[in-house]
A and B are shown apart, each in its own frame.
Chain A
Amino acid sequence: QKEVEQNSGPLSVPEGAIASLNCTYSDRGSQSFFWYRQYSGKSPELIMFIYSNGDKEDGRFTAQLNKASQYVSLLIRDSQPSDSATYLCAVPRSGAGSYQLTFGKGTKLSVIP
Chain B
Amino acid sequence: EPEVTQTPSHQVTQMGQEVILRCVPISNHLYFYWYRQILGQKVEFLVSFYNNEISEKSEIFDDQFSVERPDGSNFTLKIRSTKLEDSAMYFCASSVTGGGFTEAFFGQGTRLTVV
Give me the interface of A with B, judged by CB distance under 8 Å: 30-32, 34, 36, 42-46, 49, 51, 88, 90, 92-94, 96-106
Number of interface residues of B (CB under 8 A): 28
Q: Are A103 and B44 in contact (CB under 8 A)?
A: yes
Q: Are A98 and B58 in contact (CB under 8 A)?
A: no
Interface SS, A side? loop
Q: How many A-B residue pairs have CB under 8 A?
A: 69
Q: Are B43 and A97 in contact (CB under 8 A)?
A: no
B residues less than 8 Å from A30 (CB atoms): 100
- CA distance in complex: A102, B56 (Å): 13
Give me the interface of B with A, judged by CB distance under 8 Å: 31, 33, 35, 41-45, 48, 50, 55-56, 58, 89, 91, 95, 98-109
A residues less than 8 Å from B33 (CB atoms): 99-100
Q: Are A46 and B102 in contact (CB under 8 A)?
A: no
Contact of B108 among A36, A42, A51, A92 (CB under 8 A): A42
Known: A97-B56, A98-B56, A99-B99. Contact between A45 and B106, CB under 8 A?
A: yes
Q: Are B101 and A32 in contact (CB under 8 A)?
A: yes
- Residue pairs across A and B with Cβ atoms less than 8 A apart, 20 shown, are A30-B100, A34-B103, A42-B109, A43-B89, A43-B91, A43-B108, A44-B43, A44-B91, A46-B103, A46-B105, A92-B99, A97-B56, A99-B48, A99-B102, A100-B48, A100-B56, A100-B58, A103-B42, A103-B44, A104-B42
